[in-house]
Amino acid sequence: MNLKQKPVEVSVALAAPDSQIQMNPLDNIMRYTLPQHLPDALFRAYDIRGDAALMTPDITYALGRAIASEIRVINECCAVVGRDGRLSSPALIPHLQAGLLAGGVDVIDLGVIPSPLMYFGTCTQETQCGVMLTASHNPKHHNGLKIILQGKALTFDRLTLLKQRILNQDLSTGQGHYSTRDITQSYIEAIVQRTHLKRPYRVVLDCGHAAGSIIAPQVFEALGCEVIPLFCTIDGNFPIHHPDPSRAENLKHLKAAVLEHKADVGFAFDGDADRLGVICNEGHTIWPDQQMMLFAQAVLKQHPNAPIIFDIKCSQHLEHVIEAAGGQPILWKTGHSLIKAKMRECNAPLAGEMSGHIFFDTPWYGFDDGIYAGTRFLQYMDDYAASAAMLRETLPYSASTPELKIPATESQKITAMQALAENLPEGATANTLDGLRLHFKDGWWLIRPSNTTAYLTVRLEANSDAALNALKQHFTHWVQQTCPELDLSVI
């Protein structure tokens, strides 16, 4: 297909920005013009994401047309589509759906959902293709698209192809059929069938006023839990805290509630609920790489000698725990689509990222799902008849930081990483798989450019508190000498 398209007239519905009602994009008329230029800032390493102001009606429609063209090329004709609770999502979703329909693809509108429900739809409905309108944990004024084709998340090369299709106007045409569907009960039942708890648990859920509010409380109630909800109504202003459980400041309300209610555990979810944060019954954070240590031990009992994948930001202890449990540790690049591709390549039953993305294959579907990961954590507690605090105490100790974020523009990220790579400190062993992970006698640090936000991401880990403080000083001196323009106040 290589049809030069003139401005296209299609039917859409423009919902009010605060509307939660599913709208049929065939209700009203709007004229679109295919854009001649597309902002590079939208096309990230593993999804489309950026300031929602860049996603004009024409651009969002064109992205729908390009996705439809790719779906048609693989001989599919249908896609499940969902959106999160961001303020810009109700206005953008009709343009996306109009593009898909005009490209000849049937749209099954799943409504306002977290990303795991869109992924679940591609695994259980009549199509393996799906699109989610979301910017995950990005700032509230951002939005974007997560795209699944034939059950696979698109990586940068495929995303670039979408961009070229639009610029070349190499787009399919047709008229797809629009329908709505509610798969929330099917999702809940699928989790209940895979979870077998011997007793009820008291669980605090912090949904951050984001899309997880739609279903997370229902899931845990269906498992017999006493659910204490925090911020479990959708509000795209995120008025209490930003829905990003990788940041310690976003977990303080959850910690307080767990202690106040004497809960067994607390779970926090990000903007589209594909990431998990965990607070134990004593109010301590169990970080995602620590969660992975627990999950890996359980999974390897069922899958001896299996590969377990984790990203470049994870603790060095995770590798040792996996080996001790009889598994094959595989360090890989950060990014949900990159991790999923590596899982398929290695046939891995489990993978995880320090950001909180946890991927279970058997008995789940291999996609990142913070809600399902929370149920697996409960199952682990139940199987070992142990509190969350007791499980945390079994883990190896290290002194470490959470993910730290140094503000940096796109050009600053490139310039800084080049300069740092050319000025490595003495005595360091460098791993350049994804950024710069430098190992020293008493610890390591990582600095890498974020693929989704305007930051350089940093993490440090050492054998002791004293060694960590020394490592921080060493890191700060190295970066200040090499890139004095960077603000290191977070270190």
- The predicted structure's pLDDT at residue 29: 65
Is pTM, for the whole model, over 0.85? Answer: yes
Distance (Å, whole) CA 299 – CA 313: 21
* pLDDT(37) > 70: yes
Which of 148, 141, 208, 166 lies closest to 65 in space, CA to CA?
166
Which CATH number does 286-393 carry? 3.40.120.10
Distance (Å, whole) CA 25 – CA 64: 13
The CA-atom distances, in angstroms, between 293 and each of 68, 287, 320, 324, 441 are 40, 10, 9, 11, 23
DSSP-derived pairing of the beta strands 226-230 and 265-269: unpaired
- pLDDT-based confidence at residue 156 (cuts at 50, 70, 90): confident
Q: Which helix (H) or strand (E) holds 311?
A: strand 307-311
**Mean pLDDT confidence for 327-346:** 96
* pLDDT(75) > 50: yes
Q: What is the pLDDT of residues 355-370, one digit of tens each?
A: 999 999 989 999 999 9
Which of 142, 355, 368, 367 lies closest to 244 in space, CA to CA?
355
Which of 339, 331, 329 lies closest to 305 in space, CA to CA?
329
Which CATH number does 8-184 carry? 3.40.120.10
Distance (Å, whole) CA 426 – CA 480: 16
What topology is assigned to 399-482 in CATH?
Answer: TATA-Binding Protein (3.30.310)
Q: Which amino acid is at 105?
A: V
Q: What is the pLDDT of residues 301-331, one digit of tens each?
A: 999 999 999 999 999 999 999 999 999 999 9
Name, in order, each residue with C-beta under 8 angstroms of 89's C-beta and a sequence gap of 6 or more.
83, 112, 133, 134, 143, 236
CB 245 within 8 Å of CB 357 = no
Q: Which amino acid is at 333?
A: K
Name, in order, each residue with C-beta under 8 angstroms of 466's C-beta and a sequence gap of 6 or more.
none
- pLDDT-based confidence at residue 5 (cuts at 50, 70, 90): very low
* pLDDT(415) > 60: yes
* pLDDT(348) > 60: yes
- The predicted structure's pLDDT at residue 1: 37
- pLDDT-based confidence at residue 453 (cuts at 50, 70, 90): confident
Q: What is the pLDDT of residues 265-277, one digit of tens each?
A: 999 999 999 999 9
- pLDDT-based confidence at residue 23 (cuts at 50, 70, 90): low
- pLDDT-based confidence at residue 19 (cuts at 50, 70, 90): very low
Catalytic residue set: 136
Listing DSSP states for 9-29 in one string gives EEEE----TT--S---TTSEE
Percent of the chain with pLDDT over 70: 94
Distance (Å, whole) CA 233 – CA 21: 15
Listing DSSP states for 36-101 in one string gives S---GGGB-SSSEEEEGGGS-HHHHHHHHHHHHHHHHHTT--EEEEEE-S-TTHHHHHHHHHHHHH
Encoded tokens for 286: 């169990």
- pLDDT-based confidence at residue 138 (cuts at 50, 70, 90): very high
CB 9 within 8 Å of CB 58 = no
Can you give the residue ranges of every domain in the chain?
A: 8-184, 192-284, 286-393, 399-482
- The predicted structure's pLDDT at residue 8: 44
Q: Give the number of residues written for the chain.
A: 491
Query: One fold for both 8-184 and 399-482?
Result: no
Which of 211, 246, 206 lies closest to 230 in space, CA to CA?
206
- pLDDT-based confidence at residue 126 (cuts at 50, 70, 90): very high
Distance (Å, whole) CA 340 – CA 350: 10
Percent of the chain with pLDDT over 90: 90
What topology is assigned to 192-284 in CATH?
Answer: Alpha-D-Glucose-1,6-Bisphosphate; Chain A, domain 3 (3.40.120)
Mapping DSSP to helix (H, G, I), strand (E, B) and coil, where does residue 405 land? strand
CA dihedral 403, 404, 407, 408 (to 10 degrees): -60
262-291 burial: b if 16+ Cβ within 10 Å, else e? ebbbbbbbbbbbbbbbbbbbebbbbbbbbb
Distance (Å, whole) CA 92 – CA 96: 7
* pLDDT(378) > 60: yes
Which of 392, 395, 391, 350 lies closest to 373 in space, CA to CA?
350
- The predicted structure's pLDDT at residue 16: 35
On average, the pLDDT of the chain sits at 94
* pLDDT(434) > 90: yes
Beta-ladder partners of 448:
457
